Structure formats: C-alpha cells, structure tokens
C-alpha cells in the first residue's frame, strides 16, 4: 500500500510528544482522575455495537484498554491497534500478550489501511486530539466495510450546567494538580481540560459523523454528560 506519510502539523507534533511524556503513567492517571469510571464507560459503550464485528480497528488505541475490553466482551475477533505515539504502544505492550491485538504506528488523518478493511472502528478519547474531526470521520468511514460500525467515546465540549461546572472546577484545578503530582506533567493535564472546552459539542459531533456519511447514530451519556459514546454505521 503506498499512502505517502504526511508531514505532521505543529499540533500533531505537540500532542504526540505530550503523550510520549506521560505514557508510563497514563493508565494510573486515568484510573485516579475518573475514580475508575473510565473502565465502566468503555465497557458500556461497546454495548452500543450490534453483533460481533470480526476485524476491528482501535484508532488512538493508546495502551489498548478498549482493545482488551472489546475482546473480553466478544465485540471483536481481532483488534488492530493504531496510534501515532510509539511510547503509548510500548506502555501497553503487556496487555497484547496472548490475545489477538496487533499494534501499528499511524496517523488518524492518513490511516495506513486500504479502503473497506474493517468491520468495526472505535476511538476512545482520541478524536478530540486529531486536529480535524471532519477529516478523521471521513477516514474512519473510508476504512470501514459497508455496514461496518463506528464507536466513539469522548469528552465533548461542555454545554450544560453540570459538565460546565465539572470542567470549571475539577477539570481546571484537580486535573493539573494530580497530573503534576503523579505524572510530573501538569501541562498535559491542563491540555486535557482545554482540549475538551475547545472540542465539538456532542450534537456537533453527531452532525459531523452524519456529514461524513454515517447513519443510524446512537448516543450514550455518562456522569451527567461529562462523557458520551456515539455509535453509527457505514451505509451498505
Ligand atoms: C487520551 S489517549 C486515549 C488512549 C486510549 N484510546 C484510551 O482509551 O485510553 C489519546 C491517544 O490518541 C493518540 N492520538 C492523538 N492524536 C492522534 C493522531 N492524529 N493519530 C493517531 N493517534 C493519535 C495519542 O497518542 C494517545 O495515545
């Protein structure tokens, strides 16, 4: 396959380097900052998929938590993890041992896969970082087979009272304090809250998926709207 490697943007370089710095502490921080709710959200979100997609892409797979969960729930037979940050893939390498999960370095905006490669494609807490949500939605559609399903878990821009309050208090003060103390990188956890505030709202995200060509969009809401899952399908 000859898809020329793109020159990374400043945004992509900054995001990749940031995840590279925190990779070794990434899982710990997820569990602490969400009081382990992130595990339950990934588990529940996979329930939005119908049937058992065979070949599944886990884009922005990080340390493979969603890949493992999909296999445990029999929501995939084989998972192809893809992330542009090698240290995240290395940090999660043990979770791939003995299970059908592969790992590849690749960019969400130029996926290193042929058209119609997968029956399912999932992204947990990665879409916000991609720089161009519409272009990455079109890439996800491209690599899915007709009838294939997409699943996106994300922190969308807070627009209602509780998620806004959570972001203005816990997100603003606790994320960087705990990120500084446990990962030695307050700036990375400041970026977490800032990137959420700058991202699409959940309704804008649904419109973006529809504009890319996805149909049958379904939504699940977690922790009063702090996090959401969206599922949809590529038309047959
Ligand atoms: C918040 S982590 C999520 C990791 C994992 N999916 C999870 O649920 O824990 C975001 C991941 O997106 C990856 N990422 C960000 N931008 C990307 C891009 N343009 N292409 C591929 N991966 C990207 C980062 O390297 C990082 O591993």
Q: What is the CATH number of the domain that holds 156?
A: 3.40.50.150
81 CA distance to ligand 1 middle (Å): 10
What are the tens digits of pLDDT across the range 116-165?
999 999 999 999 999 999 999 999 999 999 999 999 999 999 999 999 99
The structural domain count of the chain equals: 1
Is residue 3 predicted with pLDDT exceeding 60?
no
The range of the structural domain enclosing residue 77 comes to: 10-233
Within a domain: residue 18?
yes
Is residue 72 predicted with pLDDT exceeding 90?
yes
- Provide the percentage of residues in the chain whose pLDDT is more than 90: 93
Residue to substitute in 59, 110, 129 for testing ligand 1 pocket (most ligand atoms within 8 angstroms of CB) = 129
Within a domain: residue 2?
no
94 CA distance to ligand 1 middle (Å): 18
Question: Do 156 and 185 contact (CB within 8 A), yes or no?
Answer: no
**For atom 17 of ligand 1, which residue has the closest CA?**
130
Within a domain: residue 1?
no
* 154 C-beta closer than 6 A to ligand 1: no
199 confidence band (pLDDT: 50, 70, 90): very high
- From residue 40, alpha-carbon distances to 34, 174, 226 in Å are 10, 21, 14
Q: Tell me what the mean pLDDT of segment 53-65 comes to.
A: 96
Q: Tell me what the mean pLDDT of segment 93-115 comes to.
A: 97
**pLDDT value for 12:** 92
234 CA distance to ligand 1 middle (Å): 23
Within a domain: residue 26?
yes
Within a domain: residue 4?
no
Within a domain: residue 87?
yes
Residue to substitute in 40, 60, 104 for testing ligand 1 pocket (most ligand atoms within 8 angstroms of CB) = 60
152 CA distance to ligand 1 middle (Å): 12
Within a domain: residue 5?
no
**pLDDT value for 38:** 93
**pLDDT value for 14:** 92
Within a domain: residue 139?
yes
61 CA distance to ligand 1 middle (Å): 6
pTM for this structure?
0.96
**pLDDT value for 1:** 44
* 133 C-beta closer than 6 A to ligand 1: no
């Amino acid at each position: 396959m000859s898809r020329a490697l793109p020159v990374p943007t400043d945004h992509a370089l900054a995001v990749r380097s940031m995840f590279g710095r925190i990779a070794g502490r990434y899982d710990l921080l997820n569990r602490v900052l969400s009081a382990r709710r992130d595990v339950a959200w990934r588990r529940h979100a996979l329930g939005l998929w119908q049937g058992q997609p065979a070949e599944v892409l886990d884009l922005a797979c990080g340390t493979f938590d969603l890949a493992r969960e999909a296999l445990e729930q029999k929501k995939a037979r084989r998972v192809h993890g893809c992330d542009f940050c090698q240290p995240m893939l290395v940090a999660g390498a043990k979770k791939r041992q003995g299970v059908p999960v592969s790992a590849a370095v690749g960019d969400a905006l130029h996926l290193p896969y042929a058209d119609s490669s997968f029956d399912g494609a999932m992204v947990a807490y990665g879409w916000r970082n991609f720089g161009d949500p519409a272009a990455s939605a079109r890439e996800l559609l491209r690599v899915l087979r007709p009838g294939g399903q997409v699943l996106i878990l994300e922190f969308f821009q807070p627009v209602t009272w509780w998620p806004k309050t959570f972001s203005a208090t816990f997100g603003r003060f606790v994320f960087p304090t705990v990120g500084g103390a446990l990962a030695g990188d307050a700036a990375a956890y400041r970026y977490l809250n800032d990137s959420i505030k700058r991202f699409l709202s959940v309704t804008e995200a649904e419109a973006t998926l529809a504009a890319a060509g996805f149909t049958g969009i379904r939504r699940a809401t977690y922790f009063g709207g702090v996090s959401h899952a969206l599922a949809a399908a590529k038309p047959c």
